[in-house]
């Protein structure tokens, strides 16, 4: 890739993206420029990745062809005010990537005051270990080649799923928020094992490995999760009793409600 990539914000998600791109050799450190809110964050990025770090968002956008907006929503108005001073003509030659939940393409166009070529991406925290999942949609007029270019970047730290924009709030829930639910499930299973006498370190290791292996079976076999579940449940065995206990506690309903609650919140952001 010959283009220069700018990061507005150098937090966890930006770090996952930068790390993945550099590891896969998609870009060189000199092809990346960024800015963060604090000098501590800027210095950390300089030392860790060897990238060019500035203290001015407008200058980052000026130097970059692709600009990744990776700041918290409460800073959006301030940052967009700094970015839109480049003007419509300059932005027609650039591409904006937003990592923000809830903020639509239409919202960005209104905030800028003119059309901005952009792609919305919603990665999740497993990107930090190269196992992320990114939901992606593009604004009208973004060339297919540009979409594929960005997809190669997001594929460098996991997998990418193209979705229509109307499903981005669902992506935020089922991919962006769900790792927290999985961590909670792992913790709860480990607590149960500890209650039955297993050392905590072993309980965490075994519960986490079971979740990772089970997820891999879903992705690699293409089998329905229910079918895979049935393969573990022998008639009159131990597993079906555990499934029964979860069903009695409305495990499925609670998981569905959690996703729906996240979607509703995302729509209000």
pLDDT tens digits for range 129-148? 999 999 999 999 999 999 99
* pLDDT at position 269: 82
Which pTM does this prediction carry?
0.91
3-state secondary structure of 103: coil
Over residues 224-251, mean pLDDT? 98
Do 97 and 188 lie in a common domain?
A: no
Do 102 and 197 lie in a common domain?
A: no
* pLDDT at position 73: 84
Residue 254: exposed, middle, or buried by beta-carbon count in 10 A (0-12, 13-18, 19+)? exposed
* pLDDT at position 123: 94
Question: pLDDT at residue 2 above 80?
Answer: no
Do 100 and 133 lie in a common domain?
A: yes
Among 146, 163, 180, the domain boundary falls at 163
Q: Which residues pair with 237 in a beta bridge?
A: none
135, 206, 139, 142: which is closest to 176 by C-alpha?
135
Do 196 and 82 lie in a common domain?
A: no
Binding residues: 8-13, 57, 70-73
Do 177 and 125 lie in a common domain?
A: no
Residue 211, domain extent: 171-268
List, in order, residues 6 or more apart from 211 with CB less than 8 Å away: 182, 185, 186
* Cα–Cα distance, 77 to 65 (Å, whole number): 21
Do 127 and 224 lie in a common domain?
A: no
Among 109, 134, 163, the domain boundary falls at 163
Do 98 and 203 lie in a common domain?
A: no
Q: Which residues pair with 118 in a beta bridge?
A: 96
pLDDT, tens digit (0-9, with 9 covering 90-100), for 187-211: 999 999 999 999 999 999 999 999 9
Do 100 and 200 lie in a common domain?
A: no
| pLDDT band per the 50, 70, 90 thresholds, residue 1 | low
Query: What does DSSP say about strands 132-138 and 118-122: parallel, antiparallel, or unpaired?
Result: antiparallel
Do 177 and 146 lie in a common domain?
A: no
Question: pLDDT at residue 10 above 80?
Answer: yes
* Cα–Cα distance, 223 to 229 (Å, whole number): 10
* Cα–Cα distance, 53 to 45 (Å, whole number): 7
| pLDDT band per the 50, 70, 90 thresholds, residue 74 | confident
Q: What percent of the chain has pLDDT over 70?
A: 100
CA 268 to each of CA 110, 259, 262, 263, 265: distance values in angstroms, whole numbers, following the listed order: 17, 15, 10, 9, 5
Binding residues for NADPH: 57
Do 176 and 101 lie in a common domain?
A: no
Q: How many domains does the chain have?
A: 2
pLDDT, tens digit (0-9, with 9 covering 90-100), for 79-102: 999 999 999 999 999 999 999 988
Among 138, 163, 188, the domain boundary falls at 163
CA 253 to chain centroid: 25
Binding residues for NADP(+): 8-13, 70-73
Over residues 41-69, mean pLDDT? 95
Q: Are 90 and 96 in contact (CB under 8 A)?
A: no
Q: What is the CATH number of the domain that holds 13?
A: 3.40.50.720
* Cα–Cα distance, 145 to 224 (Å, whole number): 34
- 100-135: b (≥16 Cβ within 10 Å) or e: bbebbbeebeebbeeebbbbbbbbbbbbbeeebbbb
Question: Helix, strand, coil shares of the chain as percentages rounded to 5?
Answer: 60, 15, 25
Question: pLDDT at residue 22 above 80?
Answer: yes
- pLDDT, mean over the chain: 96
Q: What is the CATH number of the domain that holds 214?
A: 1.10.3730.10
Do 72 and 194 lie in a common domain?
A: no
Do 157 and 240 lie in a common domain?
A: no
């Amino acid at each position: 890739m010959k283009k220069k990539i700018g990061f507005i914000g150098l937090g966890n998600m930006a770090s996952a993206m930068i790390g993945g791109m550099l590891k896969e050799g998609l870009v060189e450190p000199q092809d990346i420029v960024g800015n963060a809110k604090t000098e501590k964050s800027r210095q950390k990025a300089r030392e860790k990745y060897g990238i060019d770090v500035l203290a001015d968002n407008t200058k980052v956008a000026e130097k970059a062809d692709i600009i990744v907006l990776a700041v918290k929503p409460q800073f959006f108005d301030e940052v967009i005010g700094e970015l839109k001073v480049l003007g419509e003509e300059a932005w027609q030659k650039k591409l904006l990537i937003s990592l923000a939940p809830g903020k639509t393409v239409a919202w960005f166009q209104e905030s800028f005051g003119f059309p901005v070529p952009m792609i919305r991406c919603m990665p999740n925290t497993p990107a930090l270990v190269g196992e992320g999942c990114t939901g992606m949609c593009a604004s009208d007029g973004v060339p297919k080649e540009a979409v594929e270019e960005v997809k190669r970047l997001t594929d460098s730290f996991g997998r990418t799923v193209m979705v229509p924009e109307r499903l981005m709030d669902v992506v935020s829930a089922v991919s962006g928020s769900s790792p927290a639910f999985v961590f909670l499930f792992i913790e709860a299973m480990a607590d149960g094992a500890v209650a039955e006498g297993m050392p905590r370190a072993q309980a965490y290791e075994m519960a986490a490995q079971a979740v990772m292996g089970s997820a891999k079976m879903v992705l690699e076999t293409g089998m329905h999760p229910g079918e895979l579940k049935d393969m573990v449940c022998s008639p009159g065995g131990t597993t079906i009793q555990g499934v029964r206990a979860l069903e009695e506690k409305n495990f499925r309903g609670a998981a569905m409600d959690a996703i729906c609650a996240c979607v509703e919140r995302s729509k209000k952001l």
